[in-house]
Amino acid sequence: VDREEDDVTPVRWIRINPLRCNDYDTSNVLEELKKKFPNRVEHWTEIQPGSIYYDEFIPNVFGVHPRDKITSHELYRQGKVIIQDRASCFPAHILNPGKDDVVIDACAAPGNKTTHIAAHLLPSVGRDQSPRIYAFEKEPARSKVLKKMINVAGCGNFIEINVGDFTKLAVPEKFQDVTGLVVDPSCSGSGIFGRKSVDSHNIAKKKADEEVQVPDEEEKMVEDDVRNRLNKLASFQFQVVKHAMSLPKARKIVYSTCSVHAEENERVVIDLLLDKKVQQWGWRVAPKDKVIPTWPRRGIVEEFAQVFRDDDEKCQRLAEGCIRALPREDGGIGFFAVCFER
């Protein structure tokens, strides 16, 4: 992707891909980046053409100026550097799989998170093992893109692609052993900017812009459509995460969206926590200290308070277990992530 993005994207986020480095040692690639971007800045808001910001939250992630066309650089062509929004790097970092883990990426294409999971897992297990990452993708056309991305990232033989619906997964022996999952299902995409979509966020803005106090009939219908759509998405998202939770040896699940809507985020978490089966299986929201504790923007406590009214401490704990990123304001796309554990 090499679009004119500098008017929409404040930062171009890249990560060094250890899978394309000798012995997974990223230092040579970093040296190359230093040559291209000699001026290191302390905060992403200070990025100018030619400068680089070393992200403080995710290892091997850097911010550069969108006008510095990284796509024409050799490092990018060789798959040593991958363009990936910083927030989109949260899930694999939170899952942090190690040498004893077997991982499913339940909604994988185009594969940014899949290859990032591999970047965590491969160095500790080696390449001669049988696949330890299973990537599911329902759409055959998108699974081709996934395959290509995985090959470019240098982990083609290590990841097994399953073209099909993850929620219809028959559970053969190998999936019984899965310990960790990333669930990043289709969502409204309301956190992605530069995309023209009618959603309630835009409607709210339009209303404010036009100082419309009461929605007229037409606007109300659009708003109802949006609510219906969000409800449908939320119920699908709930089903995918619940299915992930049914895997017998799963211990850790990271759920994420690039939506700003609570319906797809905190409220999905709430519905899962209220589900009898989920409770029986013993799943809970992982505490803040396991979910990038230094990231300042957390979940919306008021959403939890609407349901767990009498328990302020619980609402606070749940909200702090969630991560949010606001579009643009936090340097990239809008994002939500939460980790379930048992």
- Residue ranges of the binding site for S-adenosyl-L-methionine: 107-113, 137, 165, 184
Using CB under 6 A as the binding criterion, the count of chain residues that bind ligand SAM stands at: 20
Residue 334 touching ligand SAM (CB under 6 A): no
The answer to whether residue 80 forms part of the interface with ligand SAM (CB under 6 A) is: no
3-state SS, the chain, equals CCCCCCCCCCCEEEEECHHHCHHHCCHHHHHHHHHHCCEEECCHHHCCCCEEEECCCCCCEEEECCCCCHHHCHHHHCCCEEECCCHHHHHHHHHCCCCCCCEEECCCCCCHHHHHHHHHHHHHHCCCCCCCEEEEECCHHHHHHHHHHHHHCCCCCCEEEEECCHHHCCCCHHHHCCCEEEECCCCCCCCCCCCCCCCHHHHHHHHHHHCCCCCCHHHHHHHHHHHHHHHHHHHHHHHHHHHHHCCCCCCEEEEEECCCCHHHCHHHHHHHHHCHHHHHHCCEECCHHHCCCCCCCECCHHHHHCCCCCCHHHHHHHHHHEEEECECCCCECCEEEEEEEC
Angle at which helix 140-152 crosses helix 112-125, to 10 degrees, equals: 40
* Residue closer to ligand SAM, measured from CB, 17 or 112: 112
Residue 63 CB, shortest distance to ligand SAM, in Å, is: 18
**Which of 55, 68, 101, 137 touches ligand SAM by CB under 6 A?**
137
* Interface with ligand SAM, residue 261, by CB under 6 A: no
Least Å distance, CB 254 to ligand SAM, is 11
Beta bridge partners of 54: 62
Indicate whether 166 belongs to the interface with ligand SAM (CB under 6 A). Answer: yes
Site for ligand SAM contains 139 (CB under 6 A): yes
Amino acid at 77: R
Length of the chain: 342
Short-list 249, 290, 258, 253, CA closest to 273: 253
Whether 258 is a known active-site residue: answer yes
- The residue among 47 and 253 lying less far from ligand SAM, judged by its C-beta, is 253
Angle (CA) 61-64-67 rounded to 5° is 145
286 is a site residue for ligand SAM (CB under 6 A):
no
Binding residues: 107-113, 137, 165, 184
Judged by CB under 6 A, the chain residues 168 through 207 that form the site for ligand SAM are 184-186
Shortest distance, position 302 Cβ to ligand SAM, whole Å = 26
140-159 binders of ligand SAM (CB under 6 A): 142
Q: Which is nearer to ligand SAM, 92 or 269 (by Cβ)? A: 92
- Which of the residues 155, 258, 315, 339 is marked catalytic? 258
113 is a contact residue toward ligand SAM (CB under 6 A): yes
Using CB under 6 A, pick the residue from 9, 17, 26, 88 that binds ligand SAM. 88
Stretch 211-250: interaction string toward ligand SAM, x if CB under 6 A: -----------------------------x----------
Judged by beta carbon, residue 240 or residue 319, the one nearer ligand SAM is 240
Nearest position to ligand SAM, beta carbon: 107
Q: Residue 52 or residue 108: which is nearer to ligand SAM going by CB?
A: 108
Q: How far is the CB of 133 from ligand SAM (least distance, A)?
A: 13
Q: For residue 254, what are the β-bridge partners?
A: 182, 339
Q: Which two tokens stand for residue 284?
A: 């809970």
Q: Which of 44, 134, 136, 340 binds ligand SAM (CB under 6 A)?
A: 136
Task: Catalogue the active-site residues.
Answer: 258
**What are the residues binding ligand SAM (CB under 6 A)?**
88, 107-113, 136-139, 142, 165-167, 184-186, 240
